[in-house]
Amino acid sequence: MMVPAVLLLLGLLTAVLAPRLLARADWPEREPVVALWVWQCVVAAVLLCLGLSMVLSAAAAWQAVRGRLFASAPHGVVEAYALDPGGPWAAVTALVLAGGAAWTAAMLTGEVLRARARRRARHSELLLRAPLLPGEDPDGVRLVLLEGDRPDAWWLPGAAPQLVVTTAALRRLKGRQLDAVLAHEQGHAAARHDWLLHCSRALSGAFPQVPVFAAFRDGMHHLVELAADDVASRRFGRLTVALALVGLNEDRGVFGPSGTPEAHVPQRVRRLLSAAPRLTASRRLGLTATAALVPAVPLLVAFVPGLSALT
């Protein structure tokens, strides 16, 4: 039972330390794409620790599982893991972790199904308000112009993705600001940010009391917006994107003292106007490679005893 316990401890340390280190660092604001990758690696490492600990705990608790898991392994490999039952703890650990895995899968499935239902409803609403023109491809990417008094623009993903802009946004945005907004939304679509948001919401919804998953959800919501801002600013400039954000949100009270759901917008505008320099290419590469090693650690912990027995 030593390896499953080490994996649980490793998962706990990763879940506690990694979010604190990311919260104290100043580079995620400058490199949101790298920060998104780091967050994914951290969460993958935590889930790997729990999953591998579940499998090895089940192998320790039940001979049938152990026989299937090590069916083709030499006898010395099984002995290297020291999978003694260890009282009821092995079975309890395996059952608790299996229940958590099943609950996570159910929450992720529910999140995906709810998102699809919302997309279908919004697609149907858009078809009512903006019907297809004669000869228009129903499966192609559409740019939909909606009559509305509120300046807004959003990307609606799906089998037939649609980019929606209100007439108020057309009147409000000047020059290349509308192009910058469209580039921002296309940046979300190209990077499939909707899937990152689904996964983060599912994990935080499944385990609302686990800080690492709540921090993962908040980080994803913040970082995907920064990453899309950077996509647009590389094409149209930081000032243009900042002015477009102000134009779309100045009537919503986000720049006042009271808190609103769009309270992150002023922070995004300040970030664009401050124009902090990017990290060097070598440091970006180093952070990316280091993050990729984080999920490799639980794999090494799980497989090293067996590999050492073979050698």
What would the 3-class secondary structure string for 100-152 be?
HHHHHHHHHHHHHHHHHHHHHHHHHHHHHHCCCCCCCCCCCCEEEEECCCCCC
Indicate the pLDDT class of residue 18, thresholds 50, 70 and 90.
very high
> Whole-angstrom distance between the N-terminal and C-terminal Cα of the chain?
22
Amino acid occupying residue 204: S
Q: What percent of the chain has pLDDT over 90?
A: 45
Instruction: Tell me the CA distances in angstroms from 26 to 29, 150, 214, 242, one per residue in order.
Output: 6, 35, 20, 21
Model pLDDT for residues 110-120, shown as the tens digit of each residue? 988 988 888 88
pLDDT of residue 256: 61
Q: For 182-248, what is the HEC assignment?
A: HHHHHHHHHCCHHHHHHHHHHHHHHCCCCHHHHHHHHHHHHHHHHHHHHHHHHHHCHHHHHHHHHHH
Q: How far apart are CA 306 and CA 77, in angstroms?
A: 5
Quick: pLDDT tens for 166-175.
889 888 988 8
Q: Is the dihedral of CA 247, 249, 251, 255 positive or negative?
A: negative
Q: Do residues 100 and 50 lie in contact, with contact meaning Cβ atoms separated by under 8 Å? A: yes
Residue 50 has pLDDT above 90, yes or no: yes
pLDDT of 147 reads: 87
Query: Residue 261 — pLDDT band, cuts 50, 70, 90?
Result: low
Pairing of strands 142-146, 162-166: parallel
**304 or 28, higher pLDDT:** 28
pLDDT band at 139 (very low <50, low <70, confident <90, very high): low
More confident residue, 285 or 164: 285
Using CB atoms within 10 Å of the CB of residue 258, give its burial: 0 to 12 exposed, 13 to 18 middle, 19+ buried.
exposed
Give me the pLDDT at residue 190, please: 87
Per-residue pLDDT, 89: 81
Instruction: Supply the DSSP symbol for 276.
Output: P
On the 0-12 / 13-18 / 19+ scale of CB atoms within 10 A, 215 is buried
Averaged pLDDT, 186-190: 89
Distance CA 238, CA 246 (A): 12
Give the sheet arrangement for strand 142-146, strand by strand. Answer: 142-146, 162-166, 153-156
Residue 262 — pLDDT band, cuts 50, 70, 90?
low
Q: Which pLDDT score is estimated for 296?
A: 95
Query: Residue 82: its pLDDT value, please?
Result: 74
Bridge-partner residues for 164, per DSSP? 144, 154
- In terms of Cβ atoms closer than 10 Å to its own Cβ (0-12, 13-18, 19+), residue 34 is buried
| pLDDT tens, position by position, 78-104 | 777 777 765 678 888 889 999 999 998
Distance CA 212, CA 298 (A): 17
Q: What is the pLDDT of residues 194-226, one digit of tens each?
A: 889 999 999 998 898 889 999 999 999 999 999
Q: With bands split at pLDDT 50, 70 and 90, how would you rate the model's confidence at 260?
A: low
Burial class (CB in 10 A: 0-12, 13-18, 19+), 32: buried
The mean of the pLDDT values for the chain is: 86
pLDDT, greater one: 141 or 237: 237
